[in-house]
Amino acid sequence: MRWYKNISYAVLKILEEIFNQHKQADKSIRDLLKSQKKWGSRDRKFAAKVLYDIIRWKRLYEYVTNSDIKTIEGKWNILTAWSKQNDIPIQQWFKNTIEFDKINFEQQLPFSIEQSIPDWLEITGKKQMGNEKFEIEIKALNIEAPTVIRVNILKTDINKLQEKLALQNIKSYSKEKYPHALFIQGKPKLTHLDCYKKGWFEIQDASSQEVAFFVQPKHGQTIIDACAGAGGKTLHLACLMKNKGKIYAYDIYPSKIDELKKRAKRNGIKNIVEAQVITNEILEKNKMMADILLLDVPCSSLGTLKRKPGLKWELNQYKLKKIKTVQKNILENYSQMIKPSGQLIYVTCSILPEENEKNIKSFLEQNKNFIFVEDKHIFPSATGNDGFYMAKLKKIN
């Protein structure tokens, strides 16, 4: 790998968008890679790696260069620090103000700088999880996530899909714990493949795939997925139900519902009987209708920092407080859609107890017609995948 002037200036432009204009990191990087028609695959991978590394380790790079990423000088210095860490020589046209040899990554550093997280997050996380547990999980979340796909069992199976990918020189491996998952080696492009367009698989983290198994849907049930997003878990539920029973999928964003419908068509899903933006009228219409209500609620998404490191710079204590209020309101208002003896499945992709078991405890204290059945923590340190929390409650007469 080596620096080219056009790539370095493109990287600087995206860093400007993310840290000065507060644009969403994944979207900015995705738009950059789409716009550079003349770049080869090596150039794209190089630019993506530089950007995701700098986003992930921003605070560390700022510290070792005594720079501010919001300034143009700081950005050049941080490119220099990244280059040193990755053994790539800098070019004469670099506008850095720091000497290559004076950048020291070996010095003793405070945890929040060494692991590149905001101070408030360290304070909050250690208070809730304990010092040792929080540090273990943050270190695990700073390791890049593997690419994982979920086989669509309505159309094929793991072995056939693996063989199909191998014909495209895409290597993969399975793990016994994840019956519908294939772990992809490297970072190949997947969505242009014929088997993807035919609905043989979806890109979905292995921890996310565990949600549908935790739900344990049955063929004849009525399931409401009330925070469905673009439908990753909805589609998996439909597969496990073998297209039988009824699924109602709702979200507050029309664009996500549109994407869900496209994916369902591609995947051959036929038991999603309704997919639309959720309203108060829908809440009223669906009272006591669901055998199972899945609430994959909005959350801090701290469990997904492996693949979305920019989230830690977008989040703050004020936003976290607002998120917790939204979670509690959803639990309280949406739970009316569950029929007696039905189940509520509460899910987040956060590792913080205040978004997880503390919310469940609070809800149970205020709603005596629900009882706790079980819960499950998925920690990145144990799996190498995203962090998740799931709780199962039962509504009693």
pLDDT at 117: 98
What is the average per-residue pLDDT within 277-286? Answer: 96
Tell me: the pLDDT tens digits for 307-326? 999 999 999 999 999 999 99
Task: Check whether residue 213 and residue 194 sit in a common domain.
Answer: no
pLDDT for residue 397 is more than 80:
no
Span 218-231, pLDDT tens digits: 989 999 999 999 99
Domain count, the chain: 3
* Last residue of one domain, picked from the residues 61, 86, 109: 109
| Last-in-domain residue among 203, 222, 249 | 203
Q: Are residues 173 and 319 in the same domain?
A: no
pLDDT for the residue 211: 98
Residues 6+ apart with CB under 8 A from 18: 25, 28, 55, 310
Are 214 and 328 within one domain?
yes
Residues 337 and 371 in one domain: yes
- HEC states along 133-148? HHHHHHHHHCCCCCEE
Residues 321 and 359 in one domain: yes
Note down the domain range covering 41. 5-109
List pLDDT tens digits, range 8-26. 999 999 999 999 999 999 9
* pLDDT for res 250: 98
In a domain, 128, yes or no: no
Secondary structure of residue 121 in the 3-state scheme: helix
Q: What number is the average pLDDT over the span 120-146?
A: 97
CATH number, residue 189: 3.30.70.1170
Confidence of residue 61 (pLDDT cuts 50, 70, 90): very high
| Residues 84 and 196 both lie in one domain | no
Q: What is the pLDDT of residue 1?
A: 78
In a domain, 132, yes or no: no
Q: Is residue 22 part of a domain?
A: yes
346/384 same-domain check: yes
Condensed to tens digits (0 to 9), the pLDDT of residues 351-395 reads 999 999 999 999 999 999 999 999 999 999 999 999 999 999 999
Question: Are residue 36 and residue 178 in the same domain, yes or no?
Answer: no
Global pTM value: 0.95
CB 239 within 8 A of CB 264: no
Do the domain assignments include residue 125?
no
One domain, residues 101 and 218: no
Q: What is the largest CA-CA distance in the chain?
A: 74
CATH of the domain at 267: 3.40.50.150
Residue 115 lies in a domain: no
DSSP run (H or E) holding 373: strand 370-378
How would residue 91 be classed by pLDDT, with cut points 50, 70 and 90?
A: confident
- pLDDT of amino acid 227: 97
Q: Quote the mean pLDDT of the chain.
A: 96
Residues 154 and 191 in one domain: yes
Residue 129 lies in a domain: no
Residue 359 carries which side chain, given as an amino acid letter?
N
Q: What pLDDT, on a 0 to 100 scale, did the predictor assign at position 198? A: 97
Is 345 domain-assigned?
yes
Q: Which of 157, 183, 203 is the last residue before a domain boundary?
A: 203
Do 320 and 350 lie in one domain? The reply is yes
Measured between alpha carbons, how far is residue 314 from residues 249, 317, 318, 320, 323 in Å?
A: 28, 10, 11, 11, 13
Question: Mean per-residue pLDDT for 204-219?
Answer: 97
Residue 37 banded pLDDT, cuts 50, 70, 90: confident
State residue 371's pLDDT score.
98
- Tell me, yes or no, whether 339 and 230 share the same domain: yes
Q: Are strands 178-184 and 147-151 parallel, antiparallel or unpaired?
A: antiparallel
Residue 139 lies in a domain: no
